[in-house]
Structure 1
C-alpha cells in the first residue's frame, strides 16, 4: 500500500479502472443518464419519505426548535457534499467516496466504507418495499402486503436491469412528483400563514413562541431532534455516483454541489418552518397523521391524507429505485477494484452491471422476508446495525478530502474546479460536528443501541478488509 497515493494525470481523470471520465464511461457502464435526469436526481435526492412522515417525531422531540436541528444537520450535509463535490469533480468515479477513501486513506478504508454503504442501501430496500406495500394494501386490501412488496421490488429491479436510462427516466418522474408536491405545499401553506387563502387568518408567530416557547423541551432537545432528522439527508451523495454514467460528469457534479444549499433550505427548512408556524408543535395530529397531512387538514384541503399517501408512495418508490441503483453501483465499483467478486465489476451488453444488481436485490429480498418473519429480531438487528452508516460515510469523506486535496493540488491542480470553502478549517469543523453527533448517540438512550450495533458491524467489516489486504500483500511479495 503506497504511503503517497497518486492519481494519473496524463489524459482525462480516471476512476481507478482506466476509464476516461471526462467524456462518459469507458469501463463498460452505459453513459445513458441525460442532464435532465441528473438535475432531477440531484434536486429530488434530498426529498425522501422521512421528510413527509418521519419529521413528525422530530417536531415532537424538539418543538419549533426542530428548525435548529434541521439547520445543523443541513449545514453538516452541505459541507460534506462540498468536500465530495471537490473530489468527484476532479476525478469522477462510479465508486465515489469509497474509491476516494481507497486512494487517500488505504484500500482497507475503501473496502470498509463501500461494503457498509452497500449494506445500508440493501436494508433500505426492505424498509421502503414494506412501507410502499403498506400503502398499496390500504388501497387494494385484496392483495396481501407481502405480494405488493414483491411486486414493487420486481418492477424496479427490471427497470434497473433494462438500462441506466430506464433508471434515470423513472427517477426523473418520481423526483419530479416529489418536487412539485413539496413546492405546492410551500406555496399553499405560505399563503395560509399570511391569511391569503379563503377562510384563513394570518397566524403570526403564536405557534412558534407559545406552548412552552421556541424550545419547550430545553436546548438539549435540539440534539435529540438532530438524531431523528440527520439520517433523512442520506441520499444527497447519489448524484456523485450517477454522474459517472452521464456524458458530462464534471459539469453535473459542480451543478449539484452548488445547488445543495438552496435544496435543503427550501425543501426542509422552508416546509418544516411552515408546518410549525401553522400548527402547535404538540398537536397530536402531527405524529398521528404526519406533519404535512396535519397542516393541509388545518388549511382545509380536502382528501389531504389520500393526496399525501400518493406522494409518500412516490417518495418510497423513488428511494427504492435509487437505493437499488446506488447499491449495485457501489458493488460494481468494489468488484472493479478487486474488493468484491470479479463478476460484480462486469456489465452485460446493455452496459448494466447485472450481477451487481441481482446480488443487491437478492439481499434486499431476504431482508424483506425477515421484515415479515422476524421483525423484532433479525430485521431489527439489520435496521439498527446499518443506522449510523451515514455518519461513518460522512466522516470518511472528510478525512479523504483532507488527503485528496493535497494530491489534487500536487498532481492535477487544473482539475480543482470545485473547492471546499475555508480548507482545511471547515473540514476539521465538520469532523468535529460529526464526532459530536456520534458521541451524543452513545449518550442518548434511544441512539445508543443503534450506534453500538453499527460500530460492531463496522469493526467486523474493517477486520475483514484488513485481513484481505494483508493476504494480498503477502501474495504480491511472494510473486515479486
Structure 2
C-alpha cells in the first residue's frame, strides 16, 4: 500500500475534540468507583473533586499553551523531548505508550466480564475479540470514523449522567417519597459532611485524580484537528468545567436521593441508588453504560498508542509511516496485537489482572503529568530568552507558580499511593519501569 509522510489528516472538528477529551475522563471512575470515594470522604468528596479539577485545569492550560505554540507536533510528548531532552522524551514517550496499552488491556478484559452479565453461560473471549476487531477497524478506516465513534460513546455516558442529575432534582424539588423515604436536599448534609472524621479524606484525592485520568488526550488529537489554534483552546477551556459539572452534579444527586452512609464500596452507586428507588432495570442499564465506557477507553487507546508509536519510531522505521489515509496503520497494528494479549493475562490472573495493571498505569500517568508541567516551565524560560516564540493569546495563568503548585499536588498523590497498601506494589512497579527505561535511554544515547 502506498505510504506517505505529508502529515496527519486534519479531520477532527471541535465537536469531536471536545467530546473525545470529555469522554476519556468520564468512565469507570464515576460509574463504578464513586461508591468507594463517597464512603471515604462523604459529601466532602465534592470539595475534593473541585480542588483536583482546578489543578487538572492548570495542567490542561499548560498543555494548551504548548500545543498552540507549535501545532505541527503529532503528540504532546514531542514538546517534552524538545524542552527536557531526548532521553527524557524517550522515557516519557514509552511510558505514556505502555500506559495506554495496559489501560486498553484491562478495559478489554472488563468488556468480557460485562458481556457475561447478559450471556452468563458463554466464555468471555469471543466478546473481547469481537470488540477488539470492531474498534481496530474504526481506527484504521479514517480518523473521522474514530472521532464519530468516540463522540457517540461519550454521548451515551453523558446522557446517563444527565438522567441521574435530573432524577435527583425532580425527586428533591417534589419531595417525592421513595422506598428510601422522602427525598430532600438536606439529605446531602444531614448525616455529616466528612466521613470517618476526615481520616480517609486524603485517599479520596487519589481516587478523584484517577477519575480525571485521560484528560490530556486532547494533546494527542492536536495534529489531526481542524483549525487547531481555535479548536484546542476552546476544548481546553471547556473540558474541565464540563467534567466538574457532571461529576459534582451526579455525585450530589446520588447523595440527595440516598444518604451517603448507605453506599457500599465496590458497587456502582448508580446501581445502588436506582435499585433503592425501585428501578429494577438499573443493573442492566448501568452495565450497558459501563460497557460503553470500556469501549470508549479502548477506542481512545488505539488512537493514542498508534500516534505515540509513530512519533517514537522515527520516519525510517516501518512504524513511523502513514498509509494513504494518513493514518499510522502499522503502529496501530502492533499496539492492537499487544492489547489482544489481555485475553492471556486474564486467563492467568482472572481476579487480579484488572486492578494490578490499571493502577500501575495510573502511577505512571502521575509522572507524565508532572513532567508536562515541568516542560511548560522550561518552555517559558526559553521564551524569555528569545529562543522560541510565545503563543501570546493562550497562556497558563499565574505561571510559573501554578506549575509548581500543580507539581506539588501531583507529587502528594504519588506519595499517598506509595503509602497505601493497596497501591504500594503497583506504584513501585511503575518506579522500576521508569528506572529501567532511563537506563535504556542512556545506553541508547551512547
TM-score (norm 1): 0.86
Counterpart of 1:254 (choices 233, 238, 246) is 233
SS at match of 2:59: helix
Counterpart of 2:303 (choices 310, 313, 325) is 325
Alignment of 1:174-253 (within 5 A): 174-195=153-174, 201-210=182-191, 213-253=192-232
Alignment of 1:2-17 (within 5 A): none
Matched, 1:455 2:431: yes
Alignment of 1:30-429 (within 5 A): 30-92=9-71, 95-195=74-174, 201-210=182-191, 213-284=192-263, 286-287=264-265, 289-336=267-314, 342-375=317-350, 382-408=357-383, 410-411=386-387, 413=389, 415-429=391-405
**Could you say if the C-alpha distance between residues 282 and 143 of structure 1 is closer, same or farther in structure 2, counting changes exceeding 3 Å?**
same
Instruction: Render the CA deviation track for 1:216-249: whole Å, top value 9, x for unaligned.
Output: 2132412111222311211111112112102211
* Structure 1 CA distance for aligned equivalents of residues 284 and 167 of structure 2: 17
What CA RMSD, in Å, does the superposition of the two structures yield over aligned residues? 2.3
Kindly indicate whether the alpha-carbon contact (under 8 Å) linking 2:25 and 2:215 is maintained by their aligned counterparts in 1: yes
* Structure 1 CA distance for aligned equivalents of residues 259 and 173 of structure 2: 16
* Structure 2 CA distance for aligned equivalents of residues 377 and 207 of structure 1: 35
**Higher mean C-alpha deviation, range 213-222 or range 425-434:** 213-222
**Could you say if the C-alpha distance between residues 412 and 388 of structure 1 is closer, same or farther in structure 2, counting changes exceeding 3 Å?**
same
Counterpart of 1:432 (choices 408, 430, 444) is 408
* Structure 1 CA distance for aligned equivalents of residues 58 and 172 of structure 2: 32
How big is the shift at 1:140? 2.7
How big is the shift at 1:73? 2.3
**Could you say if the C-alpha distance between residues 266 and 52 of structure 1 is closer, same or farther in structure 2, counting changes exceeding 3 Å?**
same
Kindly indicate whether the alpha-carbon contact (under 8 Å) linking 1:194 and 1:201 is maintained by their aligned counterparts in 2: no
* Structure 1 CA distance for aligned equivalents of residues 371 and 336 of structure 2: 26
Kindly indicate whether the alpha-carbon contact (under 8 Å) linking 1:69 and 1:226 is maintained by their aligned counterparts in 2: yes
**Could you say if the C-alpha distance between residues 94 and 198 of structure 1 is closer, same or farther in structure 2, counting changes exceeding 3 Å?**
farther
How big is the shift at 1:44? 2.2
* Structure 2 CA distance for aligned equivalents of residues 276 and 153 of structure 1: 36
1:20 maps to: none
How big is the shift at 1:253? 0.9
SS at match of 2:233: helix
How big is the shift at 1:103? 0.7
**Could you say if the C-alpha distance between residues 114 and 282 of structure 1 is closer, same or farther in structure 2, counting changes exceeding 3 Å?**
same
**Higher mean C-alpha deviation, range 107-116 or range 128-137:** 128-137
**Higher mean C-alpha deviation, range 43-52 or range 126-135:** 43-52
How big is the shift at 1:302? 4.7
1:16 maps to: none
Kindly indicate whether the alpha-carbon contact (under 8 Å) linking 2:95 and 2:364 is maintained by their aligned counterparts in 1: yes
**Could you say if the C-alpha distance between residues 307 and 374 of structure 1 is closer, same or farther in structure 2, counting changes exceeding 3 Å?**
closer
**Higher mean C-alpha deviation, range 190-199 or range 314-323:** 190-199
How big is the shift at 1:377? 7.5
Kindly indicate whether the alpha-carbon contact (under 8 Å) linking 1:116 and 1:458 is maintained by their aligned counterparts in 2: yes
Kindly indicate whether the alpha-carbon contact (under 8 Å) linking 1:89 and 1:417 is maintained by their aligned counterparts in 2: no
